Amino acid sequence: MEQTIPSNEIIFVIADYITTPRNVKFEVRIKWRINKELDRLGVAGVCRFDSKSNDLLQVTDLLIGAINYDLKLSTNIITKGDKYKRRFVEYLKIKIGTKELINGFKNHMFNIFVDKDVTKRLPIK
């Protein structure tokens, strides 16, 4: 967790809206759990947002989905996959200037962090 939120940063989390029972304090729980794991204030606030109402959040969701899909392909979680999703992933990699995302990627526009602890446990192609 510490690598995803640098020690000199405090972030706000925007989460896609999900319905929860009235007694579940989603935002409070997320903030509390992350800050407890970090043992400091790392998340100042959490806000659920209906992604269908905002184009920027839709694009963000599309990019995160493509990155996640590529990681699943790279770790053999998905062996064949959907040809249109594969095509979009390849298009994205060309546009940002990388051949792979499994080790993360960083340039002036993107900073894709891949948790190495997760990928160590998965079979890499």
The pair of three-digit structure tokens given for residue 43, joined into one six-digit string: 């998340």
pLDDT digits (tens, 9 = 90+) for 100-118: 888 888 888 888 887 766 6
Give how far Cα 123 sits from Cα of 54, 73, 77, 101, 120, Å.
37, 11, 9, 15, 8
- Evaluate whether 88 touches 66 at the Cβ level (below 8 Å): yes
Paired sense of beta strands 11-16 and 43-49, if any: parallel
pLDDT digits (tens, 9 = 90+) for 56-99: 878 888 888 999 899 888 888 888 889 999 999 999 999 999 99
Q: Please state the pTM of the whole predicted model.
A: 0.60
Instruction: For residue 65, give the nearest of 22, 116, 112 by alpha carbon.
Output: 112
Work out the pLDDT band at 119, boundaries 50, 70, 90: low
φ/ψ of residue 67, rounded to 5: -65, -45
DSSP element (H, E) containing 111: strand 111-112
